[in-house]
Amino acid sequence: MAEYVGIDLGTTLSGLAYLKPDGNPEIVPNADGERLTPSVVFFESHEDVKLVGSAARDGGEPDRTIFQIKRYMDDPEHLVEIDGKKWTPAEISALILSKLKRECSKICGDITEVVITVPANFNELARKSTIAAAEMAGMKVKRLVNEPTAAAVYYAHSQGVKGRILVYDLGGGTLDTTILDVEGDNIRILTSEGARHLGGSNFDDILLEAYAEQYKKQTGATLYSDERHRRRVLHATEDAKKMLSKLQRVNDTVANDQNSGIARIDLTRDGFEKLIRHMLTRTVFLVEQALDSAKLKPADIDHVVLVGGSTRIPKVKTMLEKMFGKTPKSCGNVDECVALGAALFAKKSARIQEVCNASYGTLAMVYNAKTKEEKLMNSIVIPKNTPIPCSRTQVYQTSEDNERVIEVDITQGEDEDAKFVDVIGRITLDVPANRPKGCEVAVTFSYDENQRVRALVVDKQSGRSKEVAVTYKGAGVLSDEELKRRSHHLRAMRIE
């Protein structure tokens, strides 16, 4: 049995690694001989089989091929309909994980428990969906770990470095930045920040637009009119993007499927970098945000580490070099280090001090004595980036006479403005009648090593209390029964 297994369930590529007896992690190839499996699923119409990986990506009908499902893990309304059946993002992800489990276990032994990596800014629903996907695929999730944290664990292990490290992880779909302190085997995370929908596939889309514009200019026609052809051109733009990381100039030719002629596309690295500049500026904002969160300046960082396929873009390196005054280092194979780090994390988690991924609090009317104004605000009890395990209490007062029920909305988010946070639960506590306003209510949040959050509400006068696990149970989350049913169904499927 493989005891320590890590999985990087990526937007474009997924990988599984295990820890060898010598303590070093290794990527386990799939049955197609690939170290990384494209995160693509094809629903075959003639045979009862789901193809996952390269075969799914390179052939098949676009209407039955699912790309980048990870981008929708946080969307409760996103469903994929195939042959009348609606699939949730968790179920599609479960198919990818099933392939990894079934095929990799033939090499490294049975896989029952895993560490799975997630983007730092994955919300509650996306994290729950990831766990559900693994369970449907027949694996128990030992821990979820942020992708840049996993990469940093691998970097620290393989390079033997110490000091303060900033990880810049620009993958297919998301950007994550983590700052951490490394001292021997001990790792202390200082902050993790993430940005949604900011990665290589956004750059591909931008290039696709440029191709379509050029085609229109040269031939007067539309480059693609259906999804199948759009996919083909997108594939070409992805290749061109990769070439531009090595060459200054790339020439390409494209045609539509209506015989409207061929257009010559002349791309320069400089031109491409201009096209994606606004996206890269967003990444600079996020790096600055991470530095601000950790109360650090660029000069306080000892190592800048690059992770994720999109960090091969030369501009990324020069931009960070300019910002930090030192050359960023690559984390070995930038596509594999997250999975490798996850396998290491499975064993070393006790020596890694993590932080809260989000702030937790409640909605409260806050009275400002200076302005005499009262305003609905998100009152944070545990701030993001507090080292875990931790527990914090905030005391509030009831605002009306004879309140019989105290209701505490549980919020997730850093903003003081209540409009900009998610309310992920509510605690209701019955209290005695005939009390004046101003009764004290203590709200305590606890965050354990497994990223589990609990909320405790105590009415101080009556001593009545209620404690709940803080967990998002809203739209998009499967019930335990439904999860069991779908797991059973999925295990009987042919997945290749």
Partner 1 sequence: MFKILKNFSKSLGGGKSAEAKPAAAKAGSLLDKVNKGAPVSAKAEPPKSPEELCGITPKMAKDEIKMQLKLLFRRYNRSASSLDAKLRGEADQMLDAIVQLREKHFGEI
* Residue from 426, 460, 484, 489 in contact with partner 1 (CB under 8 A): 426
**Interface pick for partner 1 out of 106, 197, 249, 489 (rule CB under 8 A):** 197
Minimal distance in Å, beta carbon 400 to partner 1?
Answer: 6
Q: Is 19 left (phi over 0), alpha (psi -120 to 50) or beta?
A: beta
Tell whether residue 407 is a contact of partner 1 (CB under 8 A): yes
Minimum CB separation of residue 471 from partner 1 in Å reads 8
Site membership for partner 1, residue 284 (CB under 8 A): yes
Task: Output the smallest distance, CB 62 to partner 1, in A.
Answer: 25
Report the distance separating Cα 408 and Cα 467, nearest Å: 11
394 touches partner 1 (CB under 8 A): yes
Q: Binding to partner 1 (CB under 8 A): which residues in 210-269?
A: none
SS3 225: coil
What DSSP state is assigned to residue 495? B
Contacts of 451 (CB under 8 A, 6+ apart): 127, 143, 144, 354, 357, 388
Distance in Å, CB of 196 to partner 1, minimum: 4
For the chain, how big is the Rg over CA atoms in Å?
25
CA angle 125, 128, 134 (to 5 degrees): 140
Q: Does residue 379 interact with partner 1 by CB under 8 A?
A: yes
- Does residue 117 bind partner 1 (CB under 8 A)? no
The token pair at 235 is 């594939």
State which of residues 441, 458, 490, 495 lies at the interface with partner 1 (CB under 8 A). Answer: 441
Query: Cβ closer to partner 1: 38 or 89?
Result: 89
Out of 409, 451, 456, 465, name the contact with partner 1 by CB under 8 A: 409
Q: Are strands 163-170 and 140-146 parallel, antiparallel or unpaired?
A: unpaired
Using CB under 8 A, pick the residue from 39, 117, 362, 386 that binds partner 1: 362
Choose which of 22, 47, 48, 77 interacts with partner 1 (CB under 8 A). 77
Give the span between the Cα atoms of 15 and 335, in whole angstroms.
Answer: 9
The footprint of partner 1 on residues 300-319 (CB under 8 A) is 319
Distances (CA, A) of 51 to 9, 107, 493: 17, 20, 11
Would you say 441 and 387 are in contact if contact means Cβ atoms under 8 Å apart?
Answer: no
**Nearer to partner 1 among residue 350 and residue 405 (C-beta):** 405
In the complex, the smallest distance separating the C-beta of residue 88 from partner 1, rounded to whole angstroms, is 15
Measured from the CB atom, the residue of 322 and 489 that comes closer to partner 1 is 322
From CA 105, how far away is CA 99, in angstroms rounded? 10
Binding partner 1 (rule: CB under 8 A), the pick from 415, 448, 449, 482 is 415
Task: Kindly state the smallest distance separating residue 399's Cβ from partner 1, in Å.
Answer: 4
Q: How many residues bind partner 1 (CB under 8 A)?
A: 78
Residues in a beta bridge with 294: none
**Do 172 and 196 contact (CB within 8 A), yes or no?**
no
Q: Judged by CB, which is closer to partner 1: 247, or 469?
A: 469
413 binds partner 1 (CB under 8 A): yes
CA 201 – CA 15 distance, rounded (Å): 18
Rule CB under 8 A: which of 443-482 touch partner 1?
443, 455, 466, 468-475
Residues numbered 146-185 forming contacts with partner 1, rule: CB under 8 A: none
Cβ 265 to partner 1, closest distance in Å?
A: 24
Distance CA 418, CA 407 (A): 16
Q: Single out the residue of 22, 117, 57 nearest to residue 308, CA to CA.
A: 117
What ranges in 294-373 are assigned the alpha helix state H? Answer: 314-324, 337-348
Q: How far is the CB of 402 from partner 1 (least distance, A)?
A: 10
Q: Sign of torsion, CA 283 345 136 454? A: negative
Give min distance, CB of 447 to partner 1, in A.
Answer: 16
Backbone phi and psi for residue 140, each to the nearest 5 degrees, phi listed first: -90, 135
Q: How many Cβ atoms sit within 10 Å of the Cβ of residue 390?
A: 14
Question: Looking at 5, 195, 233, 340, which residue binds partner 1 (CB under 8 A)?
Answer: 195
The interface region with partner 1, picked from 50-58, 235-243, 329-337, 403-411 by CB under 8 A, is 403-411
List binders of partner 1 among 118-137 (CB under 8 A): 121-126
Asked if 420 touches partner 1 (CB under 8 A), the answer is: yes
Q: Supply the minimum distance, in Å, between the C-beta of residue 76 and partner 1.
A: 7
Query: Which one of residues 133, 179, 286, 338 is an interface residue with partner 1 (CB under 8 A)?
Result: 286
CA 445 to CA 453: how far, in whole Å? 7
CA distance 193 to 178: 6
Selected from 22, 81, 83, 400, the binder of partner 1 by CB under 8 A is 400
Q: Which of 399, 452, 484, 488 binds partner 1 (CB under 8 A)?
A: 399
CA distances from 241 to 60, 222, 284, 420 (A): 24, 22, 21, 36
